[in-house]
Amino acid sequence: MVKLNKIYTRTGDGGKTKLGDGATVPKTSVRVEAYGTVDEANATLGTAVAAAGDDNPALRDLLVRIQNDLFDVGADLCVPRTGEEAEGSALRTTEAQVKALEDAIDHWNERLQPLTSFVLPGGTDLACALHVARTVARRAERGIAHLLEVEPDTTNPQALIYLNRLSDLLFVLARVANHDGADDVLWVPGANRGDT
């Protein structure tokens, strides 16, 4: 159970922060950057939840569930894995969470027509919010990939897989939010080059 009595601690004023295991690291560390960007992705999903409103309860509820999962991912990344870690002793991103995203992708994508080009980000307010969340999720994914390169033994690879699936799901949901893709604007390569 988390209990926060005091919001500011001043411990980060010198450019350092503590990980979940108590280790002190620079705020610029690859690990802090990775879980910080996951937090940013979560905040952008909050905008999508607000845009979904009461008109899209199934989509809104899915996004809120994902927000909770993203806190799990952040907690996972905040506590480096150890070689002696007992199964279940730390909160880790799981294959089941990834599978839930894959199931959601399959469910929502079956109502969409196949694409013939890339989609320009835009459309409804909800679609725009989902596209922003998608791009931030991709950045979080790149941050976790970097963390796995530099700290492979202490980083859970399921966190990377989760973010990869999440960005795919957010793309599908953005199309759903554009009236099941009917209002998607497709990229026309070279359309404005002036040489046609």
The pTM score is 0.91
CATH assignment, 27-81+90-186 = 1.20.1200.10
Which residues contact residue 111 at a Cβ distance below 8 angstroms, ignoring those fewer than 6 apart? 176, 180
- Closest to 28 measured CA to CA, from 38, 15, 40: 15
Of 117 and 48, the structure prediction assigns the larger pLDDT to 48
DSSP letter string, 165-176: HHHHHHHHHHHH
Q: What is the tens place of the pLDDT at every residue in 138-167?
A: 999 999 999 999 999 999 999 999 999 999
Task: Look at the block and give the residue holding tokens 């802090």.
Answer: 32
Mean pLDDT of 43-60: 94
- Closest to 131 measured CA to CA, from 38, 71, 123: 123
Single-letter residue type at 60: R
Task: Give the per-residue pLDDT at 139.
Answer: 98
Task: Give the per-residue pLDDT at 94.
Answer: 94
Q: What is the tens place of the pLDDT at every residue in 74-114?
A: 999 999 998 887 777 789 999 999 999 999 999 999 999 99
Single-letter residue type at 190: G
Q: Whole-number mean pLDDT of the chain?
A: 91
Largest CA distance in the chain: 64
